[in-house]
Structure 1
């Protein structure tokens, strides 16, 4: 037994024995991460952006449905019997009046022309001209659209528009200009013609010290007036919104395919031996 101890000590002290013992001992290190933080970030970013693009596409589709319903309502209003002026001013405040037809006899109160700035018709920049007329004494005035007139290169020179000068019977469509939340004030430049930046009937009434009916009349015809009167109650139709929806969905699909491609390339690179 004693003779075996020195032999065992010699085996432990030999370099070859130490090497074999060390090789047999497993090396304990940090566990290898299955998914890197960069992959998690890219995945989360892909899901977020893809979801936003798809949501925008569905929002455009919902807008298209709204425009289709609004167009159908406009068609029904166009085919209905015209309103009287008493019916017009008796409608609830804030009611959407665009598309109703109106039949009235009007008389001019003066020759003041109002020009709505920054209008475009068939690629030409200009103004929509208006004039305030009276239907009946003691009632609000009615703003009548005279038509589109082209502007000039010199903004100091305003176009001249022939006003309504006699009593006449008018038939036409009513409309309300949509308000721009970024710029809805009248911003009038005094004179005749009176140039304004927005058709704010409330502020126009305050400026002229008159009360106006809540909608503008676009007559089918005016005596002695040949100016074009463009009718565009819906700035963007349903087809436009459907086209925008297709663009958003296409962008979402293209973005998803691109990110999947990048993830596949990155995975292949990590699998390559060093």
Structure 2
């Protein structure tokens, strides 16, 4: 057995170029596969936390600032919207339809906090006309939950010279929003539950579920295995071709 293994290793001649390609691509594919597995595990934990906290009783808004981990906590609110500073989050699709999400400052009476409240999704079929929405003027009782994005959101900033409201953005960081308004506000977005003054409030917690990350991991590992198999095949196939070539040359000389 030792002789056959040593002989196989001796006969292995893959060539310099394939070896360099494998040395670069194989570790990359394997690392991407494990990264996808890790992301899938993170999403599982996120969804488990969401499911547990979304069925709990709402907490008081006064407790928000003292919580180390407010993600997905339900909160009971009473206060008023600031209709003058509305933000529309663009490129939000629902069932294949284009639309926006409407975010507005909400001043909570119990805690005195300014909160960035997402009132839900509304359609925007014709971009030649602005989205149509209305804002209740009277104080409202609302239930909402704290949304913490799973990872840093890529943000396309609006034109800094634009002061017109409502603002059309692709993403919004609450800290930057409060700084612009010179207000002390809560650090995370809240998403309203169905109730007065809301639109479509059915959000997916994550854009990509754990099962998709698992599928991508399997694909990366499969490609890594296929690359390794091809590399081994070429290594021994090249040796056989060289041996056959030398045998053919010897026959011609005779």
TM-score (norm 1): 0.74
SS of 1:206's partner is helix
Residue 243 of structure 1 is matched in structure 2 by 215
Alignment of 1:230-269 (within 5 A): 230-269=202-241
> 2:39 — aligned with what?
63
Question: Larger RCO: Structure 1 or Structure 2 (Cα < 8 Å, ≥ 6 residues apart)?
Answer: 2
Q: 2:22 aligns with which of 36, 42, 46?
A: 46
Shift of 1:138: 7.7
Q: How does 1:31-180 map to 2 (within 5 A)?
A: 39=15, 42-43=18-19, 45-92=21-68, 95=69, 97-136=70-109, 139-154=112-127, 157-177=129-149, 180=152
5+ residue gaps, structure 2, are 1-9, 250-254
Aligned residues: 236
Q: CA RMSD in A?
A: 2.8
Report the Cα offset of residue 82 of structure 1. Answer: 1.8
Query: Structure 1 pair 46/216, CA: closer, same or farther in 2 (3 Å)?
Result: closer
Gaps of 5+ in 1: 1-33
User: More deviation in 137-146 or 251-260?
Assistant: 137-146
> In the alignment, is the contact (CA less than 8 A) between 1:185 and 1:200 conserved in 2?
no
Q: Matched residue of 1:164: which SS?
A: coil
Q: Which has the larger radius of gyration?
A: 1
Q: TM-score, normalised by structure 2?
A: 0.80
